[in-house]
Amino acid sequence: MGTLDGSTLPTLCRMATNALEIRGLRKTFGTFRAVDGVDLTVRPGTFHGIVGPNGAGKSTTIGMAVGLIVPDAGEIRILGHDAVRDRATARSLTGVLPDGLDLPERLTGAELLRYSAGLRGLSRTAAAERAGELIEVLGITKAAATPLADCSTGNRKKVGLAQALLHAPRLLVLDEPFEAVDPVSAASIRRVLRRFVDSGGTCVLSTHSMLLVEQMCDDVTVIHQGTVVAAGTVAAVAGGVPLEDRFVELVGAETGGADGLSWLVR
């Protein structure tokens, strides 16, 4: 982990105003450098999208930001708090929806929310009220009474999102929040998140959907091969062309599908 000295004081002051500030983040798995010196700034009260191809390092970056993966080097600050040294405060301010991790599979959706509320130290009354509202708003009445092991991927995502929102965090970090979620539920979730951001909260989401980023996000960071290749407002990064085209250009990929497969297209 990097250390601070007097020369970095102005940086620190600036960082204190940001919802999430990452500097020089690195992570290596074996011989694979998953994240290689990522810098990321998330302004408070904004939607911030993190995009990149598969294996670009998005989930690893998010995992390190919320303390689920230990970085090899780098600095992470959440709403001005050092995420490593002042871990408790950083955790209390953050709501997390990771991708691909298990849940307590024998609990029902409602029980998961009560469990999460208990972990966060919420009172029984507040927990019951908030859980009830979230279940209704997110449309997970059936999942609330079903063991998570038997829930669909989409319902698990929605229950996971509910637990991330339950303690009213100031920073939401969501990894692929709309994966396998039906369009109607997705619209509800977008409205909930928009209200959250409009009230001063900050939402960081990792996604493969450029359309979603264009519709929802104020800022976007493009990660490719463990490094940031573009960052800024969505309009600035897109540079006047559709974000998807810009993204393909940034990651240096060539979209296939134009040639071959003559047997398929008659």
Partner 1 sequence: MFRRSLREHPGPAVAAIAGLLAAGWLIHYASYGDQHTLSILAGTWVLGWLVLPLMLGAGRGRVRPSHLRLEPIGSLPAAAGLLLASAIGIGPLVSLVALAALPVHAARYGARGVLVAGFGALLLWLIGLIGSAFALESIGHAGGPAGAILTGVFTGTVMGVFGSVWAVAPWITFLLAGTPGHIVRWLPWFPGSWPLSAVAGPSGRGFGMIIGLVAIVLVLGAAYLTLVRRTLASGSSRRPGRSLSPRAGVWGPGPVWAVAGRELRAWGRHPLRLQYLAFAVVYGTLLAGLPLLAGADLLVPWAGVLTALWAAGMSAGLVGLDGTALWMPFGTPGGERAEVRGRALAWLLLVTPIAVLLTVAGMLVAPQVDPLPALAVLPAVLGAGGTVPVWVSLLRVRPVPDVRHPTSADNPTDMISVLVAVGGGVLAAAAPVACLIWGPSALAPVAGVVSGALLWFAGRWLADDRLAGRGAEVLAAAGQRTRPPETAIPLTWDAEWYRRNKATAWALILLMVGWVPVVPQGLMVLVFDISGGWIVASHLTGGARTGVAVAMVALGGALLLTGLVLWGRRPYPLSPGSSPEARTRS
CB of 214 to partner 1, least distance (A): 29
Strands 73-78 and 20-29: what pairing?
Answer: antiparallel
Binding mask 19-48 for partner 1 (x = CB under 8 A): -------x-xxxx-x---------------
Torsion sign (Cα): 212, 249, 98, 167: negative
The answer to whether 213 contacts partner 1 (rule: CB under 8 A) is no
Which one among 12, 84, 103, 229 touches partner 1, defined by CB under 8 A?
Answer: 103
Residues contacting residue 49 through CB under 8 Å, at least 6 positions apart: 204, 205, 206, 207, 212, 213, 216, 217, 219, 220, 221, 234
Between 145 and 253, CB nearer to partner 1:
145
3-state secondary structure of 37: strand
Residues contacting residue 124 through CB under 8 Å, at least 6 positions apart: none
The answer to whether 251 contacts partner 1 (rule: CB under 8 A) is no
Which one among 17, 55, 85, 142 touches partner 1, defined by CB under 8 A?
Answer: 142
C-alpha to C-alpha distance for 260 and 122, rounded to whole angstroms: 59
First-last CA distance in the chain:
58
Which one among 49, 52, 57, 71 touches partner 1, defined by CB under 8 A?
Answer: 71
What residues between 163 and 192 interact with partner 1 by CB under 8 A?
163
Token pair 């409602």 in the structure block, residue: 110
CB of 68 to partner 1, least distance (A): 5
C-alpha to C-alpha distance for 38 and 61, rounded to whole angstroms: 8
What residues between 146 and 165 interact with partner 1 by CB under 8 A?
146-151, 163
Closest CA to 164 of 221, 227, 91: 91
The answer to whether 144 contacts partner 1 (rule: CB under 8 A) is yes
The answer to whether 128 contacts partner 1 (rule: CB under 8 A) is yes
The answer to whether 117 contacts partner 1 (rule: CB under 8 A) is yes
Query: In the complex, which residues of this chain contact partner 1 (CB under 8 A)?
Result: 1, 26, 28-31, 33, 66-73, 87-89, 91-92, 94, 96, 98, 101-108, 110-111, 113-121, 124, 127-128, 131, 141-142, 144-151, 163
